[in-house]
Structure 1
Amino acid sequence: MDVMLFSNGKLPGNTQLLEFGLDWIEAMVKRTGAKNFVFIPYAMIRGDYQERTEQLQAGLGKFGCKVTNIESADDQVKALQEADGILVSGGNTWVLNKMLHDKGLVGPLRQAVLQQDKPYIGWSAGTNIAAPTMCTTNDMPIVSAAILTSLNFVPFQINPHYIEATMEGHMGETRDERIEEYLLMNPHQVVAGIPEGTLLHIQDGKLSYSAANGKPMKLFANKQEPQYFEAGSDIQFLMERGC
């Protein structure tokens, strides 16, 4: 399994999608030999699928890759089977997870990544769905979607776009408080909060954490003080947890 889970798609000052992660992606392409990527855009609500496909083509095209929008395929399961790798966009996790289930793509995606070792690159919502469930998404449930189980590539929950902040005058829950609530209801789980510009990478069962901006990962567990992990820290214990 070779899976890259980015917190987000852009950093301030970036002009290109996944610009801050292109060196990591280039290394993946060279390592796996993947050239033909299928792009799953279903999390996007306010953007154009084909325009996003072209943005990704501009970035990955530098490495000799071709990016195809899965919406252009007559048979989307076959498109996954024939692709060398998979790209999954950020956006609304509720919409993404619902559409993957509705279109019968969850099983084929798991087979492609877990059994056929096809590289997977997700960001934001595309990272959320790599966890056992999408329960730690930041997104509003803008569609009727009762199914919370997702791709389960990793045995822990992920909170992309994690920000450790409070806003003056804001009386709602902070991100930490929302995660604390989740853990009180799901005490067996842990949540990895990954800030902007960071990456969780699973390669051959080994988990690593990288940051383009030096920000640490924050790990939450029920009724415990959160732990911070810098880029390069040993976080393999997270992969050894039971789901």
Structure 2
Amino acid sequence: MELFLLSNGKLSSDSEPLDYAHEQIKGLLKSRNITSAVLIPYALIRSDYDARAVELEHALGIKVGSIHHAGVPAIAIEQAQCILVSGGNSWMLNQMLHEKDLIVPIQRAVRERGIPYIGWSAGCNVATPSIRTTNDMPVRNAVVLPALGLFPVQINPHYTDVQVSGHMGETRDDRLTEFCMVNTSESVIALREGSMLHISGNDLRYYSAKGEGFKVFHYGHETKEYVDTRALSGLVPFNCL
């Protein structure tokens, strides 16, 4: 299984998509002789699907086609060399994956055929068991359906612990702590901007373009920051490097 789970899509507004992960992603594409990818853009609300595909083509140097052009989306996944899942709104994305009957085809493609999955922001959220730790608003009246479950632990992308002066609402730490208080057997991995988890076979690696760590939230345990994925031993069934 090959997963790239990125907190966000780019380091700055004027940089290329997936810029901070280019070395790792392009290395994989070259080693697998991957020349094309299917983009799942359903999370996008304020952006154009085809424009995002063109951006990714230029950034990655491969052909990228948006799945919304496919007559039968499941067949597009069956024929895909690589799956790209864009950021945006996680609620919209997860509901569309169910409505388009793509949950099982993606699971089979990734787990059984080893098709690489590259997801950022919302695309990272839906790779976990559920989208309950998303930062997004439920813009559609959808129940909290199960997500893809490719990665066994909840993730909170775009994590920040910056204290905003004058803000009287709950912090991100407050919200994630509340999640763990209600769901005492579950953990949440908080990924800062410019960071990602890379799962390749049985190996789990963490990378941060800014040299920052990730946090792990779990009920009854002190929340700490780590840079070594060995901190996740016991949470994920992978050999951590």
TM-score (norm 2): 0.95
Structure 2 equivalent of residue 77 of structure 1: 74
Q: CA deviation at 1:233?
A: 4.1
Return 5+ residue gaps in structure 1 as ranges: none
Contact 2:204 2:229 in 1 (8 A): no
Q: Deviations over 1:150-192 (max 9, x none)?
A: 0101111000000012211111110000001110111101100
Task: Give the deviation of 1:208 after TM superposition.
Answer: 1.2
Structure 1 residue 203 corresponds to structure 2 residue 200: yes
- Give the letter for the 1:158 counterpart: I
CA distance in 2, matches of 1:35, 1:5: 21
Aligned pair 1:116/2:103, yes or no? no
Deviations along 1:208-240, one digit per CA (max 9) or x if unpaired, are 11111101011111121112111x542451313
1:42 partner SS:
coil
Q: Is the 8 A contact 1:94 1:140 kept in 2?
A: yes
Q: Does 1:7 align with 2:7?
A: yes
Q: Is the 8 A contact 1:34 1:119 kept in 2?
A: no
C-alpha RMSD over aligned residues: 1.4
Residue 36 of structure 1: CA displacement?
1.7
Equivalences, count:
237
Residue 96 (1) aligns with residue 104 (2): no
Residue type of the partner of 2:28?
M
Q: Secondary structure at the match of 1:55?
A: helix
In percent, how many aligned pairs have the same letter?
42
Q: For structure 2, which runs of at least 5 residues remain unmatched after alignment?
A: none
Correspondence for 1:136:
133
Amino acid in structure 2 at the alignment position of 1:164:
D
Residue of structure 2 equivalent to 1:150: 147
Q: Deviations over 1:38-92 (max 9, x none)?
A: 000000010011100100010111xxx2111101111111111011010000000
Residues 32, 119 of structure 1: 8 Å contact kept: no
Change in CA separation of 1:139 and 1:27 when aligned onto 2, cut-off 3 Å: same
Aligned mates of 1:187, 1:148 — CA distance in 2: 20
Deviations 1:121-143 (A, max 9, x none): 00000000111111000000010
Match among 225, 230, 241 for residue 234 of structure 1: 230
- TM value normalised by structure 1: 0.94
Q: Answer yes or no: is the 8 Å Cα contact 1:207–1:235 preserved in 2.
A: no
For residue 13 of structure 1, report the CA deviation from its aligned partner: 6.5
Task: Tell me, in whole angstroms, the C-alpha distance in 2 between the residues paired with 1:239 and 1:33.
Answer: 29
1: CA distance between counterparts of 2:42 and 2:202? 27
The answer as to 2:179 corresponding to 1:182 is yes
Q: Distance in 1 between matches of 2:29 and 2:231?
A: 24
Contact (CA 8 Å) 2:77, 2:109: kept in 1 or not? Answer: yes
Write the distance in 2 (CA, Å) between the matches of 1:136 and 1:97.
13
- Write the letter of the residue equivalent to 1:76: P
The question of whether the paired residues in 1 share the 8 Å contact of 2:132 and 2:144 is answered with no
- d(CA) in 2 for partners of 1:181, 1:233: 24
Matched position secondary structure for 2:77:
helix
Take 1:36 and 1:13, find their aligned partners in 2: how far apart are those partners?
25
User: What residue is the counterpart of 2:52 in the other structure?
Assistant: 52
Q: Could you list the runs of 4 or more consecutive aligned residues of structure 1 that deviate by over 3 angstroms after TM superposition?
A: none
Look up the match of 1:16.
16
Change (3 A) 1:213 1:191: same
Q: Which residue of 2 aligns with 1:166?
A: 163
Residue type of the alignment partner of 2:230: D
